[in-house]
Amino acid sequence: MSLVINNKYILLEKLGSGSFGAIFKGQNIRTKEYVAIKVEPIEHNLLLLKNESNMYQYLKDCKYIPNVKWYGKDGVNYYMVINLLGRSLQDFINIHKTFSLALTLKIGMRVLKIVEEIHNQGLVHRDIKPDNFLFGLNDANNLYLIDFGFCRSFIQNGEHVDMKPLNSIIGSNNYASINSHKKKGLSRRDDLESLVYMLLYFSKGRLPWFDHIVDAEIIELKTSILERRDDYPSVLLELLEYIKGLDYKETPNYSWLAETITKEIETISKKS
């Protein structure tokens, strides 16, 4: 017999898993609507799902964020029910291996807009990666950001919080900022650094540090990427250079980032 939670949702097939637990396709047994159900074992004592649920509720008016339909627990697990979405950017890169620079930049514009919106709400996501950007179900026109378990506010009493050291790296090795590898506190600049690594990956299909697990090696490779001008699209390195120059509390110039991407898209369009 399939598990029913809150006397309302039935768990169907498993869609994926991570350090938090697992995510399932589910269904509202009353309305027959399909949903996504994230499950986190209580015994893990992570409370990532509770934090994520709180962040979704806080961002409920943001059109790029799924809606939380229910959050609760039984004697074994915490549960969060959200909209069922479609394929991720990671799914598409798995199929196509690389994207053209024009497509990479168009995706970058959409992702930048979402990240800016999150930042405008006083939050840093801290886990920007292709797996966490999903298209709507049967809808390629809308892109959504998910997985807010590591998300934190950077504003306290109207002021930007001070930098505090991390106990461990936050986010994925492949896309985490250099500051994250160095166990430094993360701010808006770090979300944007992860964004550029994501775009570099889309344009190249692979990055030099993908097979490495030692922080020192990854830091060295991520630091040296700006020196390899002939290996990567110059526009992406220009974005990365600007982002790496930002101070911890500095407000990024999102307009400049968007204009730089737009100009390159226009240049490519004229050449084609």
The residues that are catalytic are: 127
What's the CA gap between 187 and 179, in Å, rounded?
A: 10
Return all residues near 116 (Cβ < 8 A) that are at least 6 apart: 254
What's the CA gap between 185 and 181, in Å, rounded?
A: 10
Give the alpha-carbon dihedral of 81, 87, 90, 91, to 10 degrees.
130
DSSP string, 39-79: EEEGGG---HHHHHHHHHHHTTT-TTSPPEEEEEE-SSEEE
Residues forming beta bridges with residue 171, ordered by sequence position: none
Would you tell me how many other CB atoms lie within 10 Å of the CB of residue 156? 10
What's the CA gap between 119 and 186, in Å, rounded?
A: 12
What's the CA gap between 170 and 183, in Å, rounded?
A: 8
**Strands 77-83 and 123-124: what pairing?**
unpaired
Residues forming beta bridges with residue 134, ordered by sequence position: 88, 144
CA-to-CA separations, 174 to 169, 193, 201, 236, in angstroms, rounded: 11, 11, 9, 16
What's the CA gap between 195 and 252, in Å, rounded?
A: 13
